[in-house]
């Protein structure tokens, strides 16, 4: 994937119409780059806001940082777009039944061991501040290889972003349940 100049973007993906220039088909600064684009990684654009422009032939993704870099994906190369909630991304870890039983037994005797062991049944959530509230993933083909680029999305911008993808990419937008 290469960096596109304005002229290359217009030539390869079609020009923006008057209405697109006024934002009706543009998603501005609702999402931030997370991972998956080598060109963005090389320029240290992690967590930088991006703009998505829907063009006649595809999607242009442009950084809003001083080194304005834009890339494009042809519509035919987009496999799917999905927004995953943090609750579905964060890992789960089995609780320690034996460890809880030993601690309960030491503290409260045999009954404490039983209660401690029972409290260890199930899973607990692994908490991480590095994981955003939501992740927007765009799966695409690049030289016959499937790739995924990801963007972070705050909960307050979730609805507007989801509406954008449903309105403009309804055949490509999937829910996490549909994919798995």
Q: What are the mean pLDDT values of the chain's consecutive 10-residue runs (180 residues total)?
A: 84 73 63 88 86 87 82 93 74 47 50 49 49 84 90 88 87 77
pLDDT on residue 64? 84
Q: What fold characterizes domain 6-87+128-179?
A: PH-domain like (2.30.29)
pLDDT on residue 157? 87
Q: Are 84 and 176 in contact (CB under 8 A)?
A: yes
pLDDT on residue 88? 62
pLDDT on residue 92? 47
Q: Are 151 and 132 in contact (CB under 8 A)?
A: no
- DSSP state for residue 179 in the 8-state scheme: H
CA distance 178 to 180: 6
CA distance 153 to 165: 13
pLDDT on residue 100? 47
Which uninterrupted H or E stretch holds 41? helix 38-42
pTM summary value? 0.71
Scan for tokens 């037994």, then name that residue.
105
Residues of the chain with CATH 2.30.29.30: 6-87+128-179
Nearest-5° angle of CA 130, CA 48, CA 33?
65
Q: Is 133 helix (H, G, I), strand (E, B) or coil?
A: coil
pLDDT on residue 45? 85
């Amino acid at each position: 994937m290469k960096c596109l100049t304005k002229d290359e973007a217009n030539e390869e993906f079609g020009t923006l119409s008057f209405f697109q220039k006024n934002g009706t088909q543009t998603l501005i600064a609702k999402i931030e780059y997370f991972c998956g684009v080598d060109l963005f990684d090389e320029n240290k654009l992690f967590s930088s806001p991006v703009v998505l422009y829907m063009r006649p032939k595809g999607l242009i993704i442009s950084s809003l940082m001083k080194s304005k870099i834009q890339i494009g994906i042809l519509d035919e190369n987009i496999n799917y777009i999905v927004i995953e909630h943090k609750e579905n991304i964060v890992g789960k870890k089995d609780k320690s039944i034996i460890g809880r039983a030993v601690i309960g037994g030491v503290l409260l005797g045999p009954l404490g061991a039983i209660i401690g062991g029972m409290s260890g049944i199930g899973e607990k959530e692994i908490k991480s501040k590095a994981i955003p509230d939501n992740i927007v993933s765009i799966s695409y083909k690049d030289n016959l290889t499937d790739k995924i680029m990801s963007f972070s999305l705050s909960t307050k911008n979730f609805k507007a972003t989801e509406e954008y993808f449903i309105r403009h990419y309804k055949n490509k937008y999937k829910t996490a349940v549909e994919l798995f």
